[in-house]
Chains A and B, each alone.
Chain A
């Protein structure tokens, strides 16, 4: 049975779409059948980040409104035949889809895939609610900034209120040097406030910018630290125990991560 996982954040621009694209790709590289769904109707991006923009014929709203079958709207990835994208509509808005339709759609995807990753829009309104309504699990992406963490905290409350369990956390764009100088929130600061399970830490990496612009996931790049972090997160999603990546020049912090979080992987 498929796992439906929604990736959300509250605040915009923290890396939801990049995370969805990279996790989807990483899971498919490891042999899983993966569908990634762009739930950001009206502001679609996932297709661009995955380099599939020019292959879109039908989108999510076409499927919901009966103009296309799901099979027709799913776009196969360029490299990985096991990876499919269900793009969002660009010319409509969040009201084009109802929660019931989202549940129906995710349930249809369940039958054909091992993982369904849903890229949520920012915010806490209808679009966000649609994105989590069909999910089994929720992953929250945040950056180590006070505003992003505050929004993440709000989202944790809303996800719990929607009875989707306690979400897990990815801290994106950590800059070890700034953390060391005490100028950036550390992962511990974030965890202390949110008090949820840490799924991964992704260091800030310029390679993400180039990979995003080229439409190729960073996980293909052996040299990208962020890419390796996303690969590790995919392995953790598969139930493997993977230690957190050594962030440059702060081994002390890392050792503490092993102690605190290493054993909680399931």
Chain B
């Protein structure tokens, strides 16, 4: 996302990692930019703040929380090594814990671009359920109407896709959406929006949606692969 603030998704939800040493007011400015730019991704998100070694007092932390809240983001938890930051979080009423041991890969590990980290899920995503991930999402199961998948990367639904999908929600227009049965309420890729006319109950073929000439096009998998 940026060099000072990174967003990562995992099975337990999103984590927002702040650089340990950068100037705090500058970080907030950058965060504001990121939240504004990627509103589609962040609005409604819940995430864990990761502060690393940085220490924050209560005033700084509530400033941060207010900024997030203003953009529809709720911080559920905070992980930090500095006791002061954890105490500030508890005083405000959010869960605080030390940094997880696996937080950063040991130096020298080849780094993977966060967006290519994929999340694999085997379940039904039902009405009212939202899955948000900074990388790709593969869902083995149905996405029901009223359910939402929001991904920084591409989205694959090995099942019926009847809900809402936003791929490339962090701005990647190369992202695609694949489904065995594509009858979504709405599809979005990057900043493009497509609503689909209701289709009959005829036989469905696997389809792929992608951006072509600034609009979302859908074609069958058979055509797409050629």
A151, B129: Cα distance in complex, Å: 12
The interface residues of chain A, by DSSP majority, are classed as helix
Q: Once the chains bind, are A157 and B128 in contact (CB under 8 Å)?
A: yes
Interface residue B206 (Cβ < 8 Å from any Cβ of A): no
Q: Interface digits, A146-169 against B, CB 8 Å rule (1 contact, 0 not)?
A: 000011011011100000000000
Q: Which of A124, A153, A158 meets B146, CB within 8 Å?
A: A153
Q: Which of B135-172 contact A (CB under 8 A)?
A: 142, 144-146, 162
A157, B127: Cα distance in complex, Å: 8
Q: Once the chains bind, are A154 and B146 in contact (CB under 8 Å)?
A: yes
Q: List chain B residues, Cβ under 8 A from A157.
A: 126-129
Q: Interface digits, B39-59 against A, CB 8 Å rule (1 contact, 0 not)?
A: 000000000000000000000
Interface centre among A150, A156, A157, A195 (most CB of B within 10 A): A157
The interface residues of chain B, by DSSP majority, are classed as loop
Interface residue B124 (Cβ < 8 Å from any Cβ of A): yes
Q: How large is the interface on B (under 10, 10 to 19, 20 to 34, 35 or more residues)?
A: 10 to 19
Q: List chain A residues, Cβ under 8 A from B142.
A: 193, 195
Q: Which of B70-126 contact A (CB under 8 A)?
A: 124, 126
Which partner residue on chain B sits nearest A160 by CB separation?
B126
Q: List chain B residues, Cβ under 8 A from A193.
A: 142, 144-145, 162
Q: Once the chains bind, are A150 and B124 in contact (CB under 8 Å)?
A: no
Q: List chain B residues, Cβ under 8 A from A153.
A: 126-128, 144-146
Q: List chain B residues, Cβ under 8 A from A158.
A: 128
Q: Which of A122-151 contact B (CB under 8 A)?
A: 124, 150-151
Which partner residue on chain B sits nearest A156 by CB separation?
B126
Q: Once the chains bind, are A195 and B146 in contact (CB under 8 Å)?
A: no
Q: List chain A residues, Cβ under 8 A from B144.
A: 153, 193
Interface centre among B127, B142, B145 (most CB of A within 10 A): B127
A124, B129: Cα distance in complex, Å: 13
Q: List chain B residues, Cβ under 8 A from A150.
A: 127, 145-146
Which partner residue on chain A sits nearest B129 by CB separation?
A157
Q: Once the chains bind, are A154 and B128 in contact (CB under 8 Å)?
A: yes
Q: Once the chains bind, are B124 and A195 in contact (CB under 8 Å)?
A: yes
Q: Interface digits, B177-215 against A, CB 8 Å rule (1 contact, 0 not)?
A: 000000000000000000000000000000000000000
Q: List chain A residues, Cβ under 8 A from B146.
A: 150, 153-154
Minimum CB–CB distance from A191 to chain B (whole Å) comes to 12
Minimum CB–CB distance from B68 to chain A (whole Å) comes to 24
Q: Interface digits, A232-245 against B, CB 8 Å rule (1 contact, 0 not)?
A: 00000000000000
Q: Interface digits, A215-248 against B, CB 8 Å rule (1 contact, 0 not)?
A: 0000000000000000000000000000000000
Which partner residue on chain B sits nearest A195 by CB separation?
B124
Minimum CB–CB distance from B120 to chain A (whole Å) comes to 19
Minimum CB–CB distance from A128 to chain B (whole Å) comes to 13
Minimum CB–CB distance from A208 to chain B (whole Å) comes to 27
A255, B145: Cα distance in complex, Å: 29
Minimum CB–CB distance from B182 to chain A (whole Å) comes to 16
Q: Interface digits, B17-58 against A, CB 8 Å rule (1 contact, 0 not)?
A: 000000000000000000000000000000000000000000
Please name 14 pairs of A and B residues whose Cβ atoms are closer than 8 Å in the assembled complex, sorted by A.
Answer: A124-B128, A150-B146, A153-B126, A153-B127, A153-B128, A153-B144, A153-B145, A153-B146, A154-B127, A154-B146, A157-B128, A193-B144, A193-B162, A195-B142
For the complex with contacts A150-B145, A193-B144, 11 further pairs of A-B residues with Cβ separation under 8 Å are A124-B128, A150-B146, A151-B127, A153-B126, A153-B144, A153-B146, A154-B128, A154-B146, A157-B127, A193-B162, A195-B142
